[in-house]
Structure 1
Amino acid sequence: MQLLIAVLRGQPDLAAGLQRYLGALLTARDHSFLYAESGILANTGFFSELRHRLGNRVLPPVLDPRFLRDLLDEVFDEDDDATWLAHITPELWQALLDVLACADSTLHHIRLELGEALRILACRLAALGLEPDMVRYYPALVEYGSPFLAQQREMEQVIADLQQRNGDAQAVAIDSAHADVLLDQCRDVLARIRRQSRDAGAAVKLTWHLTRAEQIIERMHTMLGLLKPAEATPRVTAAMQFLIELVRAEARRNSVRDLVSGVTDLLSMQVTEHASKTGEHYVARDRSEFFAMFRKAAGAGVIVAFMAIIKMFITSLHLPPLWEALGYSLNYGLGFVLVHVLGFTIATKQPAMTAATLAAALDPRKGSAGALDELVETIAQVSRTQIIAIAGNVLLALIVSCAIAFAWPLVFGAPLIGTEKAGHLLHDLHPLLSLAIPHAAIAGVCLFLSGLISGYYDNKAIYNRVPDRLRRVKWLRRLLGERRLDGLAVYIEHNLGALAGNLSFGFMLGCMGTIGFLLGLPLDIRHVTFGAANLAYGSQALGFQVYWVDALAVSAGVLLIGLTNLAVSFSLALRVALKSRRVHLAGVRALPGMVLRRFWQRPRDFFWPPAE
């Protein structure tokens, strides 16, 4: 840049030629769509935009010589162009503009194009203010004077004033103060809608509208600032920042990652928020809750012992792969739903919920010191809750499975399983001679996904008002009566997510082996509670005549399967929860040391609740 400025200063004819060329280039192209669309979500919707971006990555669009936006794509065609542009100082930009001495006609054309872009954005913002999803959360938009409509009328006055002066911003100061105030009022409405959506649910469509409206308001503020009279250097700085913003936006124009992460933030926040509310029920704060958790986990262990028998029965039928996968899925899914309906709990499902609870303790709105102290206490509570829940699941699964295996021959006259099947069950639990640990990690991923599904359907139940819509189903009202239907609606409101999460988790577990078979990959699942049940059935079938080294290895395998289930699901869930709340790990670097100090001072709290 310094060399270019020196050459142009030394050869005025070259400077004049470059100035004429740039002036002709800028005045011949349409600017408005660059200013009004670059870096702003389209009005097509999330999934249409996703398909559009994927298509453009495969086949780039044709450049149109009529638009400045396409010229920007042609000139700044590297992803890092915005980076080196940002390193050029405002003084160098000012020196370049001084030596080029842009003609007034070019500057007037740019200002008029800014005005046209403002008109486009004002109309689009007004239309967004009338979207049904926005009005639903903020009825005042149609009941009273809407700032979205008012800003459009005010912007027309600003644009008319600009056009009367032929784009000369220095002739008379542009009176855009009222327009700025109305835009700020629009931003306040969007903030209120975001807050209300935390309680009333959110959807991708609503998030799309909110994000797009916020981007439009920010762009309009920027362009109004460029049209106001200002000192030369601050104006150049603002203009160059705007140029860099446009270049960066065009470089990321077809980025799928930016689209997904930028639009789904509110929805992911809602999913993890509902998951954290559910996770609060999985944290034992005192001894009464601690022993209650053991009883719930013990009940689930009893049911899993019978689910393991049903799975072995389905396996013995040697069904075709599709029907076998369906049988496994229904066994797992309906079994987990029964566990939830009866008020029991599966220990490995807790991390996906408690991770969101831990992330909630790190909410940026709380003080950092208080948040970390609260988080350390929550970690201690979660630790002992997980331990007692796993103990309840595993102990009861072992005891009930052994009891069933001993009673089976007495009732049916034959052993439950043969020695060959018993050896196969124990081999699948061996941490070194089988893929038990990788398969446990796959089960951990399924646990994480089921937690997301649970939070998603809890959010969906609120956003789509499922309970209220159930009460309007006439045949259900005739079948159940008003009182029972109301009870069903209340139950669905509080349990739809858990039912959907448990059922989907069961289907993921049931289909994983068949998917591996179809793909020719060693895919399968290992779950600690089912592993404990299989350990009991296999050992009893062999008359507990297992070499002590193998018995120790298989028992360790069950323990490692449980740890892997918990570690994988918890780490994935915590990462999503922290990201949704925009919590940076750099802000919690002191956390490991605080947890270690707490463990050193009071280790018992991590395993046993303190006195009341």
Structure 2
Amino acid sequence: MLRTLTAFVKNWRAARSASHQLDVLLAMADAGASYTARSEWLIELAHWIRRSGTLQGDSADGSAARSFAEHTRLRYLLNVLDRNPAWRANVAGILRAVLRESDGMSLLCDAGMPVHSGFVGALVERVQTLMIPPAPNRRELGALFTLMFTSNHDAEWIDALPIELLDRLHALFRHDEADDARRTGAFSLDLLAALHNLSCQVSSTGMSQLVRSRLGDADARVATESQPFYRLTRAMLAVEAAHRAVEEGAEPAQLLREVNYLRLVLDQCRIATDDVFANLYRNGVSVDIVFQVERMRMRITRTEHLLDAWMASDDMRAVSRLAAELVKANQESRSVSHLLNSNVSLLARKVVEYNADTGEHYIARDRQDYLKMLRMAAGGGLVTVMTVCIKFAITGAYLPSMLEGLLAGINYAASFLLIHFLHFSLATKQPAMTAPTLARELDGAGTPQGMDEFVASVFALIRTQAAAVLGNVMMVVPVCLGFQLLMRQVFDADIVSPAKAQATLESFSLVGPTPIYAALTGVLLWSSSLFAGWVDNWFMLHRVGDALEHNRRLRLTLGVAGAARLAAFWRSNIAGVAGNISLGLMLGLVPALLSAFAFSFDVRHVTLSAGSIGVALGVLGTDSLRSAALWWAVAGVCSMAVLNVAVSFALAFHMAIRSRDLRRAHVRSLYEGVWRRVRSRPMDLVWPGLGQQRAG
């Protein structure tokens, strides 16, 4: 009882305060004030409507709160105005005066539309807008909407306004408008002018070279006269001519026909923008081109909304939908994250799709592929032996840290390139490629068959990664050990000194920064895959392969067939070369840069570290087998295997999901499906087909 009484007193005080604030605000309303004063008054009124709390008259069970509180406050405001004719006249006069004296085009055309023509300019514009809000004395409805509606929730409650409130708001706007009769129909004219402006902008962008060159097939471009962007301006001019004819007394049937034709052309323009996006996805993505086409698509959508409102100017529901869309667009135009998501997502998906296509080759789905992966991984481990020895030679020269990092990066890059061209495999490079392949299979995971395929891919991926790590380590450790013993036997020299060997083992210890360094190395592995996908996209976007194939000098030097082979070589290998070089240089230079300017960091790569342990074991001899440092180092290398793979895979998988806009509604069922397979056929994690044989 006491708790109920306390809540009642609290709500009563809040209601009294809100009611008093509204009374003061309405008493200050002055239709004859300056534009700035009227704008500031409207901004304060909008903030009052969004204010939290309850009002007198709200139901005790909170049924009003279950809808929109803003509707309750707006209804209360209208009730107060109905009881006070002087306040009502002032408020109506303020609304009409602000609408009459403001630039409506800034709201109808420009709200939510980037001013700059490039992605970078739009990004700078949004950051600047977040830091410097518009001033209330700007005679622009767009600036006034920005200051009045600052919450992401505003578009929802405006769109959900009941028809009863909309009719009362319309009556408020029309109240005592004898002195403003010249304003009658002006909103309809603003809509028509905005339609003309937007259609011209859409037509101009659609007829630009960046769009025309991506319409239709490369060998059969669409004729200019048949393009919808060419016909859009003419269709809009026909609508305006029909509207003038109706005002002069003609029948509205012609206007309806012209409007329907304009809608048809707008639909065709939207289909054409989809074709442009499809062309970009096939032939390379440019963020600036995506920005231009995305802005054009936004203008097409805005034109359709304005056309709906213009044709139903007396329908308050259509007006409220338009107002909600303008508020939402105005808020999105201030969001940096919305700009990035709408313009970079296609590039991210293109990069991810390259990795998904490449990653399919790194998943062993049967025994033949599994054995092939073991052989490829063994070959990669054999090449890494040379890399480990050269790395010890570089570190033993005691060079300046940056020079040492550069030489180490060149060593790693050369090794990775050799592995690439010999068609060997390095285990830690696979997760960033295979994760997008796995994410792509989530598209069909909602069906039982899709679930089975996804679980089978998870098992294939796990055992493939295990085979790759096992093949690398089982080759690099004994060969490094044997090479060290051979050096001692033939040249009576060690690759590294005993002190350096002991320090190497201690640096790999699980007890220490090794797990952190291994996780950061996984980030570098993932970053190299992103760079490889970006370079592949750049190569396709600028048609570098075609330029090489048809280059006159190359044809004179290599012949037509030779130039074609060179172009085909780079088409197949440009991404692999870029990814391997970037990974090698990052593994060498990033530790030097971070250690110099931020914090101590060293690369912890499972294959390279396992080879270093093999060298250290050969230098220290069999006595090291009884050393705790050796086994802590072995545990550290095991953690590297897990963290290198897990971190790079997790980052790539997360990016793949985000780029495909997939929801995680079925994540729990996917996990359950994987665990069911683990319990029923656990040996499938080790060798393909063992679980089925055992079950049989």
Smaller-chain TM-score range? over 0.9
Higher mean Cα deviation, 503-512 or 5-14? 5-14
Q: Give the structure 1 partner of residue 107 of structure 2.
A: 34
Q: Give the structure 2 partner of residue 208 of structure 1.
A: 291
1:105 deviation in Å? 4.7
CA distance in 2, matches of 1:494, 1:357: 19
Query: C-alpha offsets along residues 118-148 of structure 1, whole Å, 9 cap, x if unaligned?
Result: 1111111111212323222214444551111
Q: Give the structure 2 partner of residue 403 of structure 1.
A: 482
1:171 deviation in Å? 7.8
Q: Give the structure 1 partner of residue 397 of structure 2.
A: 317
1:121 matches 2:198: yes
Q: Which of 460, 466, 474 is the aligned partner of 2:544?
A: 466
CA distance in 1, matches of 2:241, 2:154: 36
CA distance in 1, matches of 2:296, 2:171: 37
Contact residue 325 and residue 514 of structure 1 kept, 8 A:
yes
Query: C-alpha offsets along residues 410-443 of structure 1, whole Å, 9 cap, x if unaligned?
Result: 33331111111111211121111x2111111111
Q: Give the structure 2 partner of residue 541 of structure 1.
A: 619
CA distance in 1, matches of 2:134, 2:650: 40
Q: Superposition pairs for residues 208-287 of structure 1, below 5 Å?
A: 208-229=291-312, 235-287=315-367
Q: Give the structure 1 partner of residue 576 of structure 2.
A: 498
In structure 2, relative to structure 1, the CA distance for the partners of 1:23 and 1:133 (3 Å cut) is same
Structure 1: which 5+ runs fail to align?
none
Q: Give the structure 1 partner of residue 443 of structure 2.
A: 363
Query: C-alpha offsets along residues 386-413 of structure 1, whole Å, 9 cap, x if unaligned?
Result: 1111111111111211111111123333
1:295 deviation in Å? 1.1
- The letter of the residue matching 1:449 is S
Q: Superposition pairs for residues 444-463 of structure 1, below 5 Å?
A: 444-463=522-541
SS of match in other structure, 1:39: coil
CA distance in 2, matches of 1:416, 1:168: 99
Q: Which of 178, 199, 202 is the aligned partner of 2:261?
A: 178
Query: C-alpha offsets along residues 17-39 of structure 1, whole Å, 9 cap, x if unaligned?
Result: 22222111101111113211212
- The letter of the residue matching 2:99 is L
Q: Give the structure 1 partner of residue 471 of structure 2.
A: 392
Q: Give the structure 2 partner of residue 559 of structure 1.
A: 638
SS of match in other structure, 1:362: helix
- The letter of the residue matching 1:148 is F
In structure 2, relative to structure 1, the CA distance for the partners of 1:67 and 1:20 (3 Å cut) is same
CA distance in 1, matches of 2:580, 2:538: 16
Q: Give the structure 2 partner of residue 148 of structure 1.
A: 229
Q: Tell which structure's C-alpha radius of gyration is larger.
A: 2
1:314 deviation in Å? 1.2
Q: Superposition pairs for residues 161-176 of structure 1, below 5 Å?
A: 161-162=242-243, 174-175=256-257, 176=259
- The letter of the residue matching 1:130 is M
1:16 deviation in Å? 2.3
SS of match in other structure, 1:399: helix
1:61 deviation in Å? 5.4
Contact residue 135 and residue 142 of structure 1 kept, 8 A:
no
In structure 2, relative to structure 1, the CA distance for the partners of 1:58 and 1:95 (3 Å cut) is closer
1:164 deviation in Å? 5.8
Query: C-alpha offsets along residues 331-351 of structure 1, whole Å, 9 cap, x if unaligned?
Result: 112211111111111111111
- The letter of the residue matching 1:390 is V
Higher mean Cα deviation, 338-347 or 474-483? 474-483
- The letter of the residue matching 1:500 is A
**% identical aligned pairs:** 31
Query: C-alpha offsets along residues 170-209 of structure 1, whole Å, 9 cap, x if unaligned?
Result: 9886541111111111111222232333332222133223
Deviant stretches of 4+, over 6 Å: 166-173
CA distance in 1, matches of 2:570, 2:250: 60
CA distance in 2, matches of 1:378, 1:171: 62
Query: C-alpha offsets along residues 535-572 of structure 1, whole Å, 9 cap, x if unaligned?
Result: 11112211132335433322111111110011111111
Q: Give the structure 1 partner of residue 174 of structure 2.
A: 101
CA distance in 2, matches of 1:306, 1:529: 12
Contact residue 111 and residue 168 of structure 1 kept, 8 A:
no
1:346 matches 2:346: no
The higher-RCO structure (CA 8 Å, 6+ apart) is: 1
SS of match in other structure, 2:622: coil
Contact residue 436 and residue 526 of structure 1 kept, 8 A:
yes
Q: Give the structure 1 partner of residue 97 of structure 2.
A: 24
In structure 2, relative to structure 1, the CA distance for the partners of 1:427 and 1:277 (3 Å cut) is same
Contact residue 226 and residue 238 of structure 1 kept, 8 A:
yes
CA distance in 1, matches of 2:249, 2:172: 21
Structure 2: which 5+ runs fail to align?
1-73
1:85 deviation in Å? 4.1
Contact residue 300 and residue 346 of structure 1 kept, 8 A:
yes
SS of match in other structure, 1:336: helix
1:76 deviation in Å? 2.7
- The letter of the residue matching 1:116 is A
Q: Give the structure 1 partner of residue 508 of structure 2.
A: 429
1:191 matches 2:274: yes
TM-score, structure 2 length as denominator? 0.82
In structure 2, relative to structure 1, the CA distance for the partners of 1:7 and 1:469 (3 Å cut) is same
Q: Give the structure 1 partner of residue 49 of structure 2.
A: none
CA distance in 1, matches of 2:593, 2:608: 20
Q: Which of 417, 428, 445 is the aligned partner of 2:496?
A: 417
1:159 matches 2:240: yes
Higher mean Cα deviation, 8-17 or 571-580? 8-17
Contact residue 79 and residue 252 of structure 1 kept, 8 A:
no
In structure 2, relative to structure 1, the CA distance for the partners of 1:188 and 1:253 (3 Å cut) is closer
1:574 matches 2:653: yes
- The letter of the residue matching 2:609 is G
1:383 deviation in Å? 1.2
CA distance in 1, matches of 2:252, 2:566: 69
CA distance in 2, matches of 1:215, 1:379: 39
In structure 2, relative to structure 1, the CA distance for the partners of 1:122 and 1:15 (3 Å cut) is same
